[in-house]
Amino acid sequence: MPKQPRAWQRMLSGRRLDLLDPTPMDIEIEDIAHGLAFVARWNGQTFGDFPYSVAEHSLLVETLYSRMNPTAPVKWRLAALLHDAPEYVIGDMISPVKSAVGPAYGEMDDRLMAAIHIKFGLPAKLPDTIKRAIKQADRISAWLEATQIAGFAVEEANKFFGTPDPKQIDGLTIVLRAPANVRKDFTDRHLALLGQMT
């Protein structure tokens, strides 16, 4: 009988995360923050001496979501911060690759996201209105990244990501930083939001 391929990953926390059947018990914020701080967005095709990480992107999305939804409950701000959390183990695949891989990627992402949400007191599946609002912040973040660090002209970014309201992006400048600094800021922001939920 052929041996089954390994479908789990050992985390730096010592947890063993089963990618096919993840449980909230195997989720640690330190693992998420560390992984996301070392996963590059845009397949690493950004200007600067450091990669633009998914952790940095997640902090920006939470900032944008909070600006766009100033009266939103803290739990949805936390959901915005964690919107790409499964990428700490499955990486940040660009949209064309996700399309080529097919539904299996989305299913694995959904299982991991449900376990992460439950771990941190969120519903396993977010309401559609919240998902759409976070996605809107995500698209504005992509526009900022595209125009500031990924070499897109404004007109090109407008075509792919939509044209943001200038008030929503006022004063937001992307600064590439060392992964350790981003990891700390992500962990600190997560802790602050969790503290406001209780």
Domain assignment present for residue 9? The answer is: no
Comparison of pLDDT for 187 and 197, the residue scoring more: 187
Give pLDDT, residue 93. Answer: 76
Domain assignment present for residue 8? The answer is: no
Domain assignment present for residue 7? The answer is: no
Given a cut of 80, whether residue 23 has pLDDT beyond it is yes
* Full residue range of the structural domain in which residue 45 is found: 18-196
Number of domains in the chain: 1
From residue 35, give the alpha-carbon distance in Å to each of 42, 99, 169, 186: 16, 23, 27, 11
134-152: b (≥16 Cβ within 10 Å) or e: bebbbebbbbbbbbbbbeb
Give pLDDT, residue 1. Answer: 67
Mean confidence (pLDDT) of the chain:
93
Is 37 in contact with 189 (CB distance < 8 Å)? no
The candidate with the shortest Cα–Cα distance to 11, out of 97, 147, 94, 116, is 116
Give pLDDT, residue 145. Answer: 98
Given a cut of 80, whether residue 176 has pLDDT beyond it is yes
**Residue 121's domain is classified under what CATH number?**
1.10.3210.10
**60: its two tokens:** 């920006």
Give pLDDT, residue 95. Answer: 73
Domain assignment present for residue 4? The answer is: no
Domain assignment present for residue 178? The answer is: yes
- Tell me the pTM: 0.93
Is beta strand 8-10 parallel, antiparallel or unpaired with respect to 16-18?
A: antiparallel
Give the mean model confidence (pLDDT) for residues 94-103.
Answer: 75
Given a cut of 80, whether residue 38 has pLDDT beyond it is yes
Model pLDDT for residues 107-166, shown as the tens digit of each residue: 889 999 999 999 999 999 999 999 999 999 999 999 999 999 999 999 999 999 999 999
